[in-house]
Structure 1
Amino acid sequence: MEELKKRIEQLEQELKIEKLKNETSSVARPKISQMSSEVVDSNPYSRLMALKRMGIVENYEKIRDYTVAVVGVGGVGSVTAEMLTRCGIGKLILFDYDKVELANMNRLFFQPHQSGLSKVEAAANTLSFINPDVQFETHNYNITTMDNFQHFMGRIKEGSLTNGPVDLVLSCVDNFEARMAINAACNEINQIWFESGVSENAVSGHIQFLIPGKTACFACAPPLVVASNIDEKTLKKDGVCAASLPTTMAIVAGFLVQNTLKYLLKFGQVSYYLGYNAMQDFFPTMMMKPNDGCDDYHCRLRQKEQRESLILNPVKETVSEEIAAVIHEDNEWGISLVDESEPVVEGAHSEIAPGIHAAYDLPVAEEVVEGSSDSVDANVSLEELMAQMKSM
């Protein structure tokens, strides 16, 4: 009886998937052979290619060559996959073993009619409709089991568009066991990856950039639940579920994809660790060095390789190149982008359109008339100054 029930559920899911495929395939989705910088409303890449025209990215078309693996297609992972799809990534490999539930509807991406479908299948169907130029590969299994772990590691090593290693792994899972599995796989095959997470109370999150041997791996400084060998399942209380906010998850996904793009397309500075506290809008950053006594054998091996590499190829001090001025298109308001690090010339004014001149043309510094009540004595202490301001 139980087997019959499972079989009926499986058939229902297959019918849902088939129906969804038919619905999406009935709409014309023209493939675009190459990225065009032509500024027309019919070009889905024109706004992305503007990054190249403005000098932010040297070669945005390169994104079509990259493969990214997203592990966990939940609140953070599904939004991450959608952002990368809209950015025109070459290939996405999606891993998850969960099904879409109505309880997931407080988050972004998934829709009520997808309830009961596997998350990877539902995601691939939606994403291929958004951008048919992206290749998708899905795996509906738990990566922490022995057989699945070996297959997972194999796809990371050979899943790219050129049948080689993927360019980046993004961890968007919600449990420590899966994070440790990703960490073990990436350390073993020397794969660079990002870890991300949102707290159970939904008001904080983080992303972490991990380079085997160079930065701390997930086992170098593990959470207490891992370090103490506690089964996290015993910490879950019956009838109590973790909170989730689409806002927090979207913010974390945005940080994750932004840093993914910076890493792949080589612009800006990648954050090694970026936290987010929604209660104070606080964004701590840091970089953690690897622990030479890490429990993970392959982490210690990668650290040794890094040390040997530094001995053979010592880092030379280089003078940082001057950042090129941002190229921007002319506009009717006369607004221009300037480098805020450049010194301001006293008395100089920006040239702006006559219509808004009066509102923004303020003097750089006003002369203080000697003996005026508005003048401030340089010797006045901060406490006295604060007291004067409060009395005003």
Structure 2
Amino acid sequence: MLIAVLVLCSASNFMQTSDTYCSNGALEEGKPVDLVLSCVDNFEARMAINTACNELGQIWMESGVSENAVSGHIQLIIPGESACFACAPPLVVAANIDEKTLKREGVCAASLPTTMGVVAGILVQNVLKYLLNFGTVSYYLGYNAMQDFFPTMAMKPNPQCSDQNCRKQQEIYKKKVAAQPKQEVTEQEEEIVHEDNDWGIELVSEISEDELKAASGPVPDLPEGITVAYTIPNKAENPVAEETVAESEESLEELMAKMRNL
């Protein structure tokens, strides 16, 4: 099986020739690539890749590390099916702020190779699971190096996304899902057959609530949260009188003679 993966470390060339890279970038001529990987280092580049992939309907994985280099994330983006990068953008993008104006002169982002190595390893592992179809593919997986915390979640696309191509891909995905035949799952109860029933055990209908109350005794007043396992039934109000045999002066032989004559 031949697989074509496009890895991007810069978005400038990709935007100029995105159709060539994605639509005709596979090992077979005229075939699209199977996956695009984004390893760029700023929001502007990510938004550029997001725009191109939404336009082409190209599946891609985005990754990044924070400026302080103690956290990072990966994200699988399937146009129309999952949230794109513009569906839930960071504050810098949502407020239309030029991120270049936020950087102070003489101050550069921290670089911690271990964090970047962990995020890169997670990205590659997710790529292998997606392409080779094993395990659970993460739609979003974060990494917090300070607490060794790995949050994961899946986000649905935003119907009011600012990217018109994302909204168009959402409509295409809805039609695709609606066109799929619905599979009705019917559960059949299996009849239990006992080959041997030496003791003659049979299942009878359930006891009604009234019968259950009649067979149970009074429930004592207990604190909240405490219940009794069982109750002792009340004694019968009109017990059957024990039958007694009147004493007789007849001998045993006379009584046996009467029994023979019956």
TM range (shorter): 0.5 to 0.7
Aligned counterpart for 1:161 among listed residues 27, 30, 49: 27
Secondary structure of 2:16's counterpart equals: helix
Secondary structure of 2:76's counterpart equals: strand
Question: 2:92: which partner in 1?
Answer: 225
Distance 1:222 1:318 in 2: 39
Residues 334-362 of structure 1 deviation map (CA, whole Å, 9 limit, x = unaligned): xxxxxxxxxxxxxxxxxxxxxxxxxxxxx
Aligned counterpart for 2:74 among listed residues 168, 193, 207: 207
Distance 1:316 1:216 in 2: 27
Residues 131-151 of structure 1 deviation map (CA, whole Å, 9 limit, x = unaligned): xxxxxxxxxx823xxxx6231
Instruction: Map 1:60-71 onto structure 2 (within 5 A).
Output: 62=1, 65-71=2-8
Distance 2:183 2:155 in 1: 22
Question: 2:162: which partner in 1?
Answer: 295
Shift of 1:291: 0.3
Shift of 1:159: 1.0
What letter corresponds to residue 298 of structure 1 in structure 2? N
Q: Cα 1:222–1:316, aligned 2, differ >3 Å: closer, same or farther?
A: farther
What letter corresponds to residue 71 of structure 1 in structure 2? L
Q: Cα 1:314–1:216, aligned 2, differ >3 Å: closer, same or farther?
A: farther
Question: 1:305: which partner in 2?
Answer: 172
Q: Cα 1:220–1:314, aligned 2, differ >3 Å: closer, same or farther?
A: farther
Secondary structure of 1:201's counterpart equals: coil
Distance 2:182 2:124 in 1: 29
The reply on whether 1:236 has 2:106 as its aligned counterpart is no
What letter corresponds to residue 247 of structure 1 in structure 2? T
Q: Cα 1:314–1:200, aligned 2, differ >3 Å: closer, same or farther?
A: farther
Shift of 1:156: 1.4
Secondary structure of 1:216's counterpart equals: coil
Question: 2:48: which partner in 1?
Answer: 181
Secondary structure of 2:17's counterpart equals: helix
Shift of 1:314: 4.7
Distance 2:114 2:22 in 1: 30
Question: 1:284: which partner in 2?
Answer: 151
Shift of 1:181: 0.8
Gaps of 5+ in 1: 1-61, 73-95, 97-140, 320-392
Residues 201-232 of structure 1 deviation map (CA, whole Å, 9 limit, x = unaligned): 00000000000000000010001100100000
Aligned counterpart for 1:142 among listed residues 12, 26, 35: 12
Q: Cα 1:220–1:318, aligned 2, differ >3 Å: closer, same or farther?
A: farther
Aligned counterpart for 2:129 among listed residues 262, 266, 273: 262
Instruction: Map 1:72-221 onto structure 2 (within 5 A).
Output: 72=9, 96=10, 142-143=12-13, 149-163=15-29, 164-221=31-88
Question: 2:255: which partner in 1?
Answer: none
Distance 1:317 1:175 in 2: 47
Distance 1:70 1:318 in 2: 42
Shift of 1:306: 1.0
Matched positions, count: 186
Q: Cα 1:303–1:257, aligned 2, differ >3 Å: closer, same or farther?
A: same
Shift of 1:152: 2.8
Secondary structure of 1:274's counterpart equals: strand
Secondary structure of 2:143's counterpart equals: strand
Secondary structure of 1:165's counterpart equals: coil
Residues 72-92 of structure 1 deviation map (CA, whole Å, 9 limit, x = unaligned): 1xxxxxxxxxxxxxxxxxxxx
Normalized per residue, the structure richer in helix is: 1
What letter corresponds to residue 24 of structure 2 in structure 1? E
Shift of 1:311: 1.3
Distance 1:228 1:302 in 2: 24
Distance 1:317 1:272 in 2: 28
What letter corresponds to residue 68 of structure 1 in structure 2? V
Q: Cα 1:314–1:177, aligned 2, differ >3 Å: closer, same or farther?
A: farther
Shift of 1:239: 0.4
Q: Cα 1:203–1:308, aligned 2, differ >3 Å: closer, same or farther?
A: same
Percent identity among equivalent residues?
A: 65
Shift of 1:316: 3.8
Secondary structure of 1:288's counterpart equals: coil
Q: Cα 1:197–1:291, aligned 2, differ >3 Å: closer, same or farther?
A: same
Aligned counterpart for 1:250 among listed residues 98, 106, 117: 117
Q: Cα 1:70–1:317, aligned 2, differ >3 Å: closer, same or farther?
A: farther
Provide the aligned C-alpha RMSD in A.
1.9
Shift of 1:315: 5.5
